[in-house]
Structure 1
Amino acid sequence: MIEAGPLMRVRLDLTYEGAGFSGWARQPGRRTVQQVVEDALAVALRLPAVRLVVAGRTDTGVHATGQVAHCDVPELPGTLLRSLRGLLPPDVRVLAASVAPLGFDARFAAMLRRYEYRIADAPGGVDPLRRRFVLGWPRPLDVESMAGAARQLVGLHDFAAFCRRREGATTIRTLLRLDVERDGDSGAEIVCTVVADAFCHSMVRSLVGALLAVGEGRRAVDWPASLLDRDRRSDEVGVAPAHGLTLVEVGYPPDAELGARVEQTRARRA
């Protein structure tokens, strides 16, 4: 066993396929990313337990290629990644582990989270090799209309109509970017890129659900923005399925600004 002593903060960069997990956060009797990774870390580091703090708590079925977490441990062995590769199941990997700079906090130091939601509306359906990560849509979608609706949602707003409210949590967010475009030369997939300082529960999938209604022609281009004056969840907004959504990036300020960012974020959340 490692003797107790001063702790170092370690940054972990992770990727996982969300289909087999009940989201990130530990839940009794359920398989979650946090539980699987914490348990593997405890074995690799020969500790009774390891606690992870994550940048973004992904929901059940949501994937990640750019998730970030941190933990405080006595040391960082050079063999940690190799050990974790043998301990972790094939649907989750720790890609990098490094000593974090002073002031780093995976959650509160983050400046932005970037998600991508992928949709395929081709007549033949989704590429079978992509079916676990792309939503197949049975009807053609008007991407220009979806993009026009998306532009009206960018900025600082109360997104209550698009969020599942949690007691004591604010639904005011700064949506930095919401783009809708066809991906690549073939245009086989539509990509909704969503970037914000933070997200409330189900916000990304609800935004995509509203844009899908516009893309099908069931709603006008200005309809999603018209919901921003509501103070509670709108029953008119559908929630897009989880498997099309992937957390692809968490952005942080320069090292010298990490502490100030943590203080700013904590004050705003309070």
Structure 2
Amino acid sequence: MRRFGKRQLATPLLLLLCEGAAAWGQLGHETVVWIAVEAMAPETLEAAKALLDTDEAGLVAAATWADKVRDDEEDDRWAHSFSWHFANIDIDAPDIEAACHGHPPVPAGKWASEAPAESCVIDKIAQFRAELADPEVPERERRLALKFLLHFVGDLHQPLHSADDGDRGGNDKIARLPGGEPAPLHYYWDTVFVPAIEGGPSALANVLAAEDAVVDGEDVLGTDPRAWAEQTYALGRGAAYGSLPAPGADGIYVLEEGYRRQAESIAVVQLQRAGRRLAALLDEALTGS
């Protein structure tokens, strides 16, 4: 497996990253895939490119496909995939079985892409990984599996895609930065706290590789999406929700500097983890390495 080489930067990571809204849905997801492209085995990369009939840039662009087709107002064939993007694990009574709707199996004679709408990101990653690894599965379904995996591994690592306070993963809590406009808390974790840098996702991937915040040997969770979700849930419960200030008289949570900096640091680590884990998962599924 290829690994990013660590190199020293003249300026610390968070000083290099400019502030501003940059969507996990695009910048974040594409950064995850760029990290994976550099970390996966060369033969895995070639197999993935062949399956999608594209190059590295095409693989990265596919990272946002699952969001686009889910939200397509003119074609609702993927509207049923809405709940596949998250696992709302309750912060007061954590129950992955409940968050995953009892883990409904893929019905006999169906593919994972045709499975029940009530499913969760943990199960969908496992189902699509199994199909991608099976050479007997039709190429069309393996192609869909790869496109969903390029997105869902990133989704699972966003803390408010794994933790919930009865507010639809922060969508029902309204927050703002000092002097900023109110928006759902989920929006802040999806967008504002993802660091932006001139040059886009490939540049951000290179910066994250250079200043690796994930300590070698500290983060051994293999390719088990349930374990990833439990780790991400802990960040959601402890940081995204646990560090929230009390809401003001208007019901809005003002996210002060300490909260913002902590959230940005978590986003950096989670992007790194997601990219590495996506690479490892695809290595196993596509080449058995």
Task: Tell me the TM-score normalized by structure 2.
Answer: 0.26
- Which structure's residues are more often helix, by fraction? 2
* Pair member with larger Rg: 1
